[in-house]
């Protein structure tokens, strides 16, 4: 398991290369390449799929302000040649994510972020059931050789301390079991502000459940460095 910090100093992921003077040898080489058959196209961007629920989907937000496009923009600015594919479905539980895993893998991802569990929490689903679903998802990804980052959530005490304890424990324990990267709490920037007693009015939509554009940006500013570091460690 790799527990990634919420905030990391930015390091360029692709070092600059000093250009050499071509000289005659370089010119002849270039002419030879022009005369040769067309080479294979440049390497395609790294395909990162985000499997999740409405938080991933970008519920209630313009298409360009959801979590996936914002994260893609952040990663590209950090130097990654990556596209982030939105596999978020509003209302999905861990069971829903598992049931459509075949369809999601059809996109042939190079890696996957698994951000499920919020609706399990809202519905009070037994954490043992949610754990089994996450275990099945990561088992399949490991079998398909798709690196995974499991994204967790913190649980309030609404369903009692035992539920809260078991829900919080399943993310790090399942990640460790499968050697997956772990990002402990997707909503950390918002929950930390809530715990400090500050207003969330400028970070949340009117439903009180989904972040607005500013809330998404706060999430991405925290999540982005962790995903950046994880991608740097993947051989691609």
> Catalytic site residues?
54, 207, 210
**Cα distance from N-terminal residue to C-terminal residue, the chain:** 20
Q: Which residue in this structure is represented by tokens 């460690």?
A: 233
Q: How far apart are CA 79 and CA 90, in angstroms?
A: 30
CA distances from 127 to 26, 169, 172 (A): 62, 9, 13
């Amino acid at each position: 398991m790799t527990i990634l910090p919420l905030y990391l100093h930015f390091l360029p992921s692709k070092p600059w290369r000093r250009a050499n003077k071509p000289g005659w040898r370089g010119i002849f080489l270039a002419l030879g390449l022009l005369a040769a058959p067309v080479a294979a196209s440049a390497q395609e961007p790294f395909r990162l799929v985000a499997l999740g629920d409405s938080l991933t989907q970008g519920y209630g937000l313009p298409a360009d302000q959801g979590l996936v496009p914002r994260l893609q923009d952040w990663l590209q600015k950090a130097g990654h040649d990556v596209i982030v594919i939105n596999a978020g479905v509003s209302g999905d539980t861990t069971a829903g994510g598992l049931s459509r895993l075949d369809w999601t893998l059809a996109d042939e991802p190079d890696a996957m972020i698994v951000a499920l569990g919020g609706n399990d929490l809202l519905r009070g689903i037994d954490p043992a059931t949610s754990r089994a679903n996450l275990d099945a998802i990561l088992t399949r990804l490991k079998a398909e050789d798709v690196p995974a980052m499991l994204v967790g959530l913190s649980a309030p005490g609404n369903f009692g301390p035992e539920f809260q304890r078991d829900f919080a424990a399943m993310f790090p324990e399942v990640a460790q079991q499968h050697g997956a990267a772990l990002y402990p709490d997707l909503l950390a920037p918002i929950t930390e502000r809530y715990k400090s007693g500050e207003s969330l009015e400028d970070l949340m939509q009117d439903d009180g459940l989904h972040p607005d554009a500013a809330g998404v940006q706060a999430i991405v500013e925290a999540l982005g460095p962790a995903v950046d570091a994880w991608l740097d460690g993947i051989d691609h």
